[in-house]
Structure 1
Amino acid sequence: MIFAAGFGTRMGALTETRPKPLIEVGGRALLDRTLDLARDHGMTRIVVNAHYRAEQIEAHLAGSEVAVSVEMPDILDTGGGLRVALPLLGGGTVFTSNADNVWDGPNPFDVLADAWQPDRMDALLLTVPLSHAVGRKGDGDFAMAADGRLSRNGMRVYPGVQILKTEALADIPDRVFSLNAVWDRIAARGRLFGAHYPGRWCDVGHPEGIALAEAVLEGR
């Protein structure tokens, strides 16, 4: 599941006429860069959600194997968006990813798959040290214990890619909700874990992030 429904308000004028996932970095749309990684990992069932300028996302993906889950009339946030897309995904355990990431290192889906232990995990979040989060503004998101369990507030950043057992979504009564609500419930059961990403990640959530991401792609 690739999240592409947001308004991209931090991008300012760049998203006045197009959705953020279609902004190009290094001559390629951000959404396509994420799709490349998913396909390289061998994924054959891929869903992209859309809300803001959804018709552009649909047109961009027309003729591909990717299904589009259009959220109308309301945007449903990450948790609500994932839950409504489950019929397209088939349920069970899924990867989810934001669409505004640029990576300098191994395929993030490969890293997660190698670390996934379903007998002890309900969610596995990729994390990078704050020092390896290029363009990140603010503090980290999580602390990671020696056994890999995550807790709130620490120096590790969640770059928007995870493996999640979608059964956890059933615990949330709201229609519109963030995956943060799901993680908090999973953490309370001691089943929220993190995986270390050994490379760099660039946040392309703001205009300055484009130049930073292109520098990362060039190895700078």
Structure 2
Amino acid sequence: MTPQAVMIFAAGLGTRMGALTRTRPKALIEVAGRPLIDHALALVREARIPRVVVNTHAHADQLAAHLALTAPDVLLSHEPVLLETGGGLRHALPLLGPGPVFTLNADMVWTGPNPLTALAEAWRGPEANGGALLSLVPREAATGHAGPGDFFLPLRRRGDASTAPYVYAGAQIIDPAALAGFPAEAFSMNPVWDAL
């Protein structure tokens, strides 16, 4: 069954963006005339995902005010202390409901097919998909990505010295049961993927 909820990660500080995020959240930076969060929400609406949760932290009041005007059905999961992606997802689970969920990074803009729709079409369930299904793109297709790749195919992590040809594209379906082995309050999705 296709997940019925999506977690949009929007709590990051955006420190690499310097002056752009000193007085506003990264998710409200405009790209192509629209805030990043609006690009993410457009993908969610197109994919017809009924439950939407957005996490907040830095300049949370601004993001909350924007969403109250543009997407009043969105639920907010505020993080007084940054929890990173894994901890943020676990913190939001009461709002997301049971079962596997989509996650989407708010600080990316996609071209081409909707990654959420593509994931939904490929999803066969937690057992068949090994607990998660990640959207990957070839490193050369990831505009603005200057770092190493993240994954090889068949799916395996890059290791220490990377020539990995695929980059995580900021969208996935994951079974929250995969978070159970991580007792820390704040943790990244990276060790979760490694464990899977």
TM-score w.r.t. structure 2 length? Answer: 0.90
1:115 maps to which of 122, 125, 129: 122
Cross-structure match for 1:48: 54
How far has the Cα of 1:91 moved from its partner?
Answer: 2.8
* One of 103, 109, 113 as aligned partner of 1:102: 109
Gaps of 5+ in 1: 187-220
1:135 is matched with which residue? 144
Deviating 4+ runs (over 2 angstroms): 149-153
Contact 1:7–1:15 (8 Å) recurs in 2:
yes
Give 1:66's match in structure 2, choosing from 58, 66, 74: 74
Counterpart of 2:4? none
> How far apart, CA to CA, are the structure 1 residues paired with 2:10 and 2:181?
24
CA distance in 2, matches of 1:160, 1:105: 14
Aligned equivalents of 1:5 and 1:102: distance in 2?
17
Q: Distance in 1 between matches of 2:39 and 2:32?
A: 10
Kindly report the root-mean-square deviation, in angstroms, between the aligned alpha carbons of the 2 structures.
1.1
Deviation at 1:150, TM superposition (A): 3.2
Q: Which amino acid aligns with 1:109?
A: L
Q: CA deviation at 1:116?
A: 1.4
Q: Which 5+ residue runs of structure 2 have no aligned equivalent? A: 1-6
Residue type at the aligned position of 2:94:
P
Aligned counterpart for 2:179 among listed residues 169, 175, 178: 169
Kindly indicate whether the alpha-carbon contact (under 8 Å) linking 1:79 and 1:179 is maintained by their aligned counterparts in 2. Answer: yes
CA distance in 2, matches of 1:168, 1:158: 18
Distance across 1 between alignment mates of 2:101 and 2:153: 22
% identity of equivalent residues: 55
TM-score normalized by the length of structure 1: 0.80
Corresponding position: 1:180 with 2:186: no
**Matched residue pairs, number?**
182
CA distance in 1: counterparts of 2:195 and 2:115, whole angstroms: 25
Q: How far, CA to CA, are the matches of 1:91 and 1:34 in structure 2?
A: 22
